[in-house]
Structure 1
Amino acid sequence: MINEAERTEYEQTLARNAEAIARDIQPRDVVILHDPQTAGLVPFFVRYGCRVIWRCHIGVDQPNEVVQGAWRFLLPQVAAAHATVFSRRAYVWEGLDQPRVDIIPPAIDAFAPKNQELDGQTVAAILRTTGILSDGAAGQPRLEVSGLSVERTTDLFPGTRLPEDARLTVQVSRWDRLKDPLGVMEGFAQFVAPRVDSHLILAGPGASTVADDPEEAGVLREVEDRWHHLPPAARDRVHLARLPMDNPQENAIIVNALQRRAQVVVQKSLGEGFGLTVAEAMWKGRPVVASRVGGIQDQIEHDKTGLLIDDPHDLDAFGAAVVSLISDPAVADRLGAEAKRRVQRQFLAPRLLMQQANLIGRLLQSAK
């Protein structure tokens, strides 16, 4: 629980931040504050005469005592906002004035490097240039794609490139226990590799980024250590890809190519806020196997726009779902096509923009 000294430190820090920000705002401005870190700024901007929206991008399916304690600490500040916004109804805090609560799910930018259209030749060229797919010859040192340069090499573990014709199962995520890379690897080794010819790529941030986060570095070491104990036949088809992070746009277009090249994209999270990496894969027309947790279950309609695993710890069910899609390309194609249509209807930026514009319009109208 947060003690009095920590409360004082929080309030004093945010007071200094508020004084600095105040130089750039005017009364009647609309101020949008994001996530719990900014909650203490709400009363200041209300007193200043602004219309304040507080937006929370995170949440848990089953709030425990620690979460509820954080709610109690921040609720007086958050409750002062003219509107609060959550990604899911299930994430709305207890004690908030319901008429001032809006549910606005996040969305993806279809034209960003991570989501822009790429043809098959470009996808293959990107993955060869960054060192993931074998090119049968000396690698191309640099590739230009829509004005973006791809030139940095992905750090593969083990170091052998994948065959050009390999069927891929891919998860892209941080090296985070909640993303369960160990479970994905174990489920693939036990229940996918013995049944179908596919390679697994667990893709995450490169070593330079992980070095700054001791927890991520620890998870990555655990995954590498466990890889050494996989059965040899499975071990040959499990790959860890530490993606270059120096240039965010280069990283994004590599992720784009990796997801488009996958036969199946997985997101076997143990817990999730919303998980837009699922929508990103769905937008690319990929069949997705994911856990029924958090916002993932809002994105995927089971057996219509993807496959949901009820228990993320059930490795057999996870493996069976992946195998079913690899073994039946017609079903995989149907789910992928429906997935893209669902994202087009529900999870693209124009819908988000319109909802936010409507909310801002209501607040400005009520201030007259």
Structure 2
Amino acid sequence: MKLPTRKIDDYEPIVGKGEVESIIKLAERVKGARVIHVNATSYGGGVAECLKSIVPLAQSVGLDARWQVLQADKDFFVVTKAIHNALQGNTSIELTKDMKKVYLDVNSFNAKILDLDGDVIVIHDPQPLPLIRVKKNDGKWVWRCHIDTSQPNKHVWDFLKSYVEKYDALIFSRETYVPKDLKGVKIFIRYPSIDPLSDKNKPLPQTKILETLEKYGLNPDKPIIGQVARFDPWKNPLGVIDTYRKVKEKIPGLQLVLVGSFAHDDPEGVEWYRKTVEYAGGDKNIYILTNLDGVGDVEVNAFQRSFTVALQLSIREGFGLAVAEALWKCVPVVATRVGGIPLQVIDGVTGFLVEGIDEAAEKTTLLLKRYWLSRELGHNGMNHVKRNFLVTKDLKDYLRLHIELVGR
């Protein structure tokens, strides 16, 4: 697949010369190592977002980094969405023999057509997990789990665990996500990251922001709040609309933007998009937009920069890259205290952590009324992301992992 061009030197104005030099020095110890990343989709969702930057950046410091995507049909993704939901805590899901067969057969097919001959093979999330069955003795296999597995469905986890334990190392986004019955495997904790030079996060001229708002019918002179997330029950888009309605009682001109994309590996997306549109009830100040409306990375960037407050009211959340994206743009975030969100939203410092709709509405209203507070929290957020969640730090962490596994 075609990847953007990335050079480590381009990040020097953002992270400093010393940080760039330390990355180059680390890379020398694994120069030429063949690193293969495999995930379920090339578009939509945080994993593809990360790989789109980390792979070319790794190439720029001397690694032979590659990214491959599973070939699969809708039936497979229906099964893997059920697995995803089960790992995030849905206890009602049971995998039938037919579902397991679909899951394993698609992975067997991909094991034959994918190039899995590498020094380090990084498998992302549960969709390609069973590829480990073709592991050879020389390469090191790593499973990178991006979701919250702190309270997994036992039936589904027991089925997957036999594959997980075959890996040489596992990566989770938080220590609390590591299932308690995992033993005898190297475990690393690594945060996902955003790329400050990507179309979604690079600086934009004010004219481009205004042009985007005008194109989609928003009024730049009235306050805008919004959430960027897949249309998914875990992302709680209906709760976002409830919050907007409560805030609008005190701020009548308020506008809400809900931006999502239809990822190839998410068969529930269309259904939840329809539910969200129906729940909005024709409110002309609610804008529900997707990639099918022409909303790409630059448009998401423009919308996020137009927000006075960003929302992330997820019920469960592996990390929530949209939080870091908003904070990087100096926009404070009102979010639920779940998953990886509290790593990004420091309560009262970079935004507010809330327990429910009433508190979300209260804190959003506060930030809309007190612009000085909104600016202060947004500025704090940008610095917090710069220290902890940029792709350069992610690359550094990956290099240390590679050094531990195959380094010289």
Q: Where does residue 117 of structure 1 map in the other structure?
A: 203
1:242 corresponds to which of 275, 289, 304: 289
Give the match's secondary structure for 2:301.
helix
1:240 CA drift (Å): 2.1
- Aligned 1:1-368 pairs, distance under 5 A: 1-4=94-97, 6-22=99-115, 25=117, 29-45=119-135, 47-63=136-152, 67-97=153-183, 100-128=186-214, 131-132=215-216, 161-189=217-245, 191-205=246-260, 209=262, 215-228=268-281, 235=283, 238-245=285-292, 251-309=296-354, 311=355, 314-365=356-407
Q: Tell me the TM-score normalized by structure 1.
A: 0.78
Q: C-alpha separation between the residues in 2 aligned to 1:100 and 1:212?
A: 28
Write the letter of the residue equivalent to 1:25: D
Q: C-alpha separation between the residues in 1 aligned to 2:379 and 2:110?
A: 47
The 1:4–1:258 alpha-carbon spacing in structure 2 relative to 1, beyond 3 Å, is: closer
1:210 CA drift (Å): 9.2
The 1:320–1:54 alpha-carbon spacing in structure 2 relative to 1, beyond 3 Å, is: same
- In the alignment, is the contact (CA less than 8 A) between 1:210 and 1:217 conserved in 2? no
Write the letter of the residue equivalent to 1:240: Y
Deviates more, 1:284-293 or 1:75-84: 75-84
1:267 CA drift (Å): 1.1
1:7 CA drift (Å): 4.2
**Structure 2 gap ranges (5+):** 1-93
Q: C-alpha separation between the residues in 1 aligned to 2:316 and 2:183?
A: 27
- In the alignment, is the contact (CA less than 8 A) between 1:84 and 1:102 conserved in 2? yes
Give the match's secondary structure for 2:365.
helix
Q: C-alpha separation between the residues in 1 aligned to 2:301 and 2:228?
A: 10
Give the match's secondary structure for 2:387.
helix
Give the match's secondary structure for 1:202.
strand
Q: C-alpha separation between the residues in 2 aligned to 1:296 and 1:2?
A: 30
- In the alignment, is the contact (CA less than 8 A) between 2:350 and 2:377 conserved in 1? yes
The 1:19–1:239 alpha-carbon spacing in structure 2 relative to 1, beyond 3 Å, is: same
Give the match's secondary structure for 1:84.
strand
1:242 CA drift (Å): 1.7
How many residues are treated as equivalent by the alignment? 315
The 1:175–1:330 alpha-carbon spacing in structure 2 relative to 1, beyond 3 Å, is: same
Q: C-alpha separation between the residues in 2 aligned to 1:259 and 1:173?
A: 12
Q: Deviations over 1:93-142 (max 9, x none)?
A: 233236600001100011000000113233112322xx22xxxxxxxxxx
1:226 CA drift (Å): 3.2
Q: C-alpha separation between the residues in 2 aligned to 1:55 and 1:257?
A: 31
- In the alignment, is the contact (CA less than 8 A) between 1:115 and 1:256 conserved in 2? yes
Write the letter of the residue equivalent to 1:307: F
Q: C-alpha separation between the residues in 2 aligned to 1:308 and 1:98?
A: 36
1:51 CA drift (Å): 1.0
Q: C-alpha separation between the residues in 2 aligned to 1:348 and 1:300?
A: 15
Q: C-alpha separation between the residues in 1 aligned to 2:108 and 2:263?
A: 32
- In the alignment, is the contact (CA less than 8 A) between 2:222 and 2:255 conserved in 1? no
Q: Deviations over 1:133-186 (max 9, x none)?
A: xxxxxxxxxxxxxxxxxxxxxxxxxxxx23231111111222222222222212
- In the alignment, is the contact (CA less than 8 A) between 2:213 and 2:220 conserved in 1? no
Write the letter of the residue equivalent to 1:357: L
- In the alignment, is the contact (CA less than 8 A) between 1:43 and 1:81 conserved in 2? no
* Identical counterparts, % of pairs: 31
Q: Report the RMSD for the aligned CA atoms in angstroms.
A: 2.6
Give the match's secondary structure for 2:226.
strand
Q: Highest CA radius of gyration, 1 or 2?
A: 1
**Structure 1 gap ranges (5+):** 133-160, 230-234
Write the letter of the residue equivalent to 1:169: I
Write the letter of the residue equivalent to 2:188: D
Q: C-alpha separation between the residues in 1 aligned to 2:101 and 2:247?
A: 53
Q: C-alpha separation between the residues in 2 aligned to 1:210 and 1:20?
A: 22
- In the alignment, is the contact (CA less than 8 A) between 1:325 and 1:332 conserved in 2? yes
Q: C-alpha separation between the residues in 2 aligned to 1:18 and 1:257?
A: 40
- In the alignment, is the contact (CA less than 8 A) between 1:245 and 1:251 conserved in 2? no
Give the match's secondary structure for 1:192.
helix
Q: Deviations over 1:75-98 (max 9, x none)?
A: 122111111111111111233236
Q: Tell me the TM-score normalized by structure 2.
A: 0.71
Give the match's secondary structure for 1:36.
coil
The 1:100–1:329 alpha-carbon spacing in structure 2 relative to 1, beyond 3 Å, is: same
